[in-house]
Amino acid sequence: MDPKSGSAPDSFDPDDNINQYLWRRIDVPGTPIVGNGPKISVVAPLGTSEYQLMVADSSGGVDYATTVVTVIDSTAPHIASIQAVPDCLWPPNDKWATYRLGQEIHTSVQDACDSAPRLEIGRVDVIENHVARIAAPEESRASSAAVCLRSAREGTGVGRIYRLTIKAMDATGNTMHGHTHVVVPHDQGVERRCRARIQLTTEPTKVCVE
């Protein structure tokens, strides 16, 4: 029996009289039948599973063989899109805006084996006056599920850009990172007008502190 293809190329009968092939999964209760015939196609679960092949001839002769199949997921989730809504903070009055995964942070993530990869907020960076750095505690507070951003920027330059890193992790532990941005513009000029508003609070909300 060939465990890679789910086939039985080495099964033979001296009289060339095999008339039955029966495949079962034997590591689960009930040993369910998974296929008939010398070659089958099976979607095996993640991890290790054990299968048994029974062959029989028309004279009543029977023989068995078993194989162990191990399925390993080594492919990271695919982050199709991440968007912070709104992606602009105004006015720059030093108050705080809360962005939560699944609410103000919209994501689209797919994974080959995990229908619901876990999402977490990772690092928050600040880009201001052409310099990138990790956000300071007085600028950003983050938990795994939410981040609070201070609506503030320096008086010079074009404004402040917050870059949020989002981590997607599947059940096996494969990870992928993506990014979205929130801008605190220098002014409300045409190019950087904040068309949508978000509630601002005097302190970071509790969801941003683990």
- Residue 117 and residue 36 in one domain: no
- Residue 67 and residue 158 in one domain: no
Would you give the distance in Å from CA 99 to the centre of its chain? 20
Structural domain total, the chain:
2
Residue with tokens 């909300």: 205
According to the 3-state scheme, what is the secondary structure of the chain?
A: CECCCCECCCCCCCCCCEEEEEEEECCCCCCCEEEECCECCCCCCCEEEEEEEEEEECCCCEEEEEEEEEECCCCCCEEEEEEECCCECCCCCCCEEEEEECCCEEEEEECCCCCCCEEEEEEEEEEECCEEEECCCCCEEECCCEEEEECCCCCCCCEEEEEEEEEEECCCCCEEEEEEEEEEECCCCHHHCCCCCCCEECCCCHHHCC
- Residue 87 and residue 188 in one domain: yes
Per-residue model confidence (pLDDT) at position 58: 83
Per-residue pLDDT reduced to its tens digit, 142-174? 999 999 999 999 988 889 999 999 999 999 999
Per-residue pLDDT reduced to its tens digit, 26-53? 998 888 899 998 888 888 888 899 999 9
- Residue 62 and residue 87 in one domain: no
- Residue 86 and residue 181 in one domain: yes
Per-residue model confidence (pLDDT) at position 100: 97
141 lies in a domain? yes
| pLDDT greater than 70 at residue 204 | yes
- Residue 42 and residue 135 in one domain: no
List the Cα angle 74/78/84 in 5-degree steps: 145
- Residue 168 and residue 98 in one domain: yes
Per-residue model confidence (pLDDT) at position 4: 42
Per-residue model confidence (pLDDT) at position 124: 97
- Give the CATH number for residue 164: 2.60.40
Per-residue model confidence (pLDDT) at position 1: 36
- Residue 64 and residue 136 in one domain: no
Per-residue model confidence (pLDDT) at position 2: 39
Range of the domain at 179: 78-208
